[in-house]
Amino acid sequence: MAPDETLDAIEDAYRAVNHAHAVLARCLAELVVSTDFAEYPYLGDEVGALLSISSRKASTLINHAENLASRPAVLAALEEGRIDQGKALLIVNQLEPLTAVHAEIVEAVLVEYARTHHYSRIRQHAQRLIAKIDPEAAARRHEEKKRTRRVEKLNLDDAMCALRFQFTALQGALVWDRIARGLDDERTMDQRRADVAFDLLMGKETGAPQGEVKVLVTLPATTLMGMDQEPGMLAGYGPIPADVARDIAAGGTWKRILTDPVTGVAVDVGRTNYRPSAALADLVRARDVTCVAIGCRQPAHRCDLDHCEPFDGTNTVADDLGAKCRRHHVMKHHTRWKRTQLPGGIHIWTTPMGRTYVREPEPIADPAPPF
């Protein structure tokens, strides 16, 4: 097959996989309905024996099936191949704290949004909607999840192990910024972070550059003043409850960011005490939020600022600059991937196989209503 036909075949195959996941979910949900109450706890053993998988894995499949069957619109989108199983389960999970009426409203919006957006964008969009439609549910869910914070040790092969920390998003951002200050030596970035983290946990001198750890939070002035409960935006994570954002802001250093009232995208930043070049960098990073490559979620404040067109002495302007993580910066300069930039932070990527994808800027504030 020609490369273009191969890409079409990949897309068709992925839709078929999604359809199969939906069929499996429907069958498992029907099995649950027909199972006696006393035998339900052992249904995983029945399915596990049938499929030659562990009863634990089978029980997970059954649980996923029940959750999907509870949201017919989500299951239908999965069956039609419009979304994949990961997106479907994400949407179902995000709807849990909402009332039946609110869940139905948000479900329809998320199913349509999920069709053309990546997993993390869907999660952020869902949390913004939930915080807007039911702020108390968002705050309640955060408090419930905060109580599950923990540290886990997972044994791995070859005399290795993994420590997994579950923090609040703010705690995680602060810790990550601290351990990211690795030394510039022959170690990889991952190795440096692991070594710095170990030294910190053991109370040793890390040798890494010191300094105040920083997080970037955006929230409307009305939320800061307590006039509403609009969510804040934590860089590298996404929406956080208004109360959490206000607590962070209480001890923070502020910079004014103006957003387009129609799109909610950053268009200007305050320039007090900043050289114009620093203000321009602030604007581009506030507008782009993350690396502008398709699907990349590396926070913009950890990215390079790259010209779309080769520097000519006059094009160091917002409409020719984009945040790129180091990997995608190298990709743009050393492969056949091409990027075109339109005003307002719209990036058009053309792949080596000729497919074109548009990366639109993420709003950091809610757009004004259309009336």
- pLDDT class of 272 with cuts at 50, 70, 90: very low
Write the pLDDT tens digit of every residue in 118-142.
Answer: 998 899 889 888 888 888 877 888 8
- pLDDT class of 157 with cuts at 50, 70, 90: very high
- pLDDT class of 275 with cuts at 50, 70, 90: very low
Q: What is the pLDDT of residue 122?
A: 93
What 3-state DSSP class applies to 299?
strand
184: Cβ contacts below 8 Å, ≥ 6 apart: none
* CA geometry: angle 74, 78, 79, nearest 5 deg: 115
Contact 27, 94 (CB under 8 A): no
- pLDDT class of 370 with cuts at 50, 70, 90: very low
Give the range with max mean pLDDT: 149-163, 216-230, 253-267. 149-163
What 3-state DSSP class applies to 229?
coil
Whole-angstrom Cα distance, residue 347 to residue 265?
14
Please list the helix, strand and coil fractions of the chain in percent, rounded to the nearest 5, in that order. 50, 15, 35
Q: How many C-alpha atoms does 315 have within 13 Å on its Cβ side? A: 14
Burial grade of 216 (CB within 10 A; 0-12, 13-18, 19 or more): buried
Contact 104, 131 (CB under 8 A): no
Q: What is the pLDDT of residue 72?
A: 95
Whole-angstrom Cα distance, residue 154 to residue 156?
6
Q: What is the pLDDT of residue 270?
A: 60
Q: How many C-alpha atoms does 167 have within 13 Å on its Cβ side? A: 12
Q: What is the pLDDT of residue 340?
A: 94
Residue 362 DSSP symbol: P
Q: In whole numbers, what is the pLDDT of the chain averaged over residues? A: 86
CA nearest 320: which of 345, 297, 299? 345
- Cβ atoms within 10 Å of 88's Cβ, excluding its own: 27
Residue 335 DSSP symbol: S
- CA dihedral (248, 250, 254, 258) in degrees, to 10, reads 70
- Cβ atoms within 10 Å of 366's Cβ, excluding its own: 14
252: Cβ contacts below 8 Å, ≥ 6 apart: 217
Q: What is the pLDDT of residue 93?
A: 93
- pLDDT class of 253 with cuts at 50, 70, 90: low
Whole-angstrom Cα distance, residue 63 to residue 328?
38
Q: What is the mean pLDDT of residues 272-297?
A: 77
Write the pLDDT tens digit of every residue in 161-213.
Answer: 999 999 998 888 888 888 876 667 788 888 888 988 898 899 888 877 676 66
Q: What is the pLDDT of residue 311?
A: 81
Helical axes 3-34 vs 55-69, angle rounded to 10° = 90
Contact 116, 227 (CB under 8 A): no
Write the pLDDT tens digit of every residue in 3-35.
Answer: 889 999 999 999 999 999 999 999 999 999 999
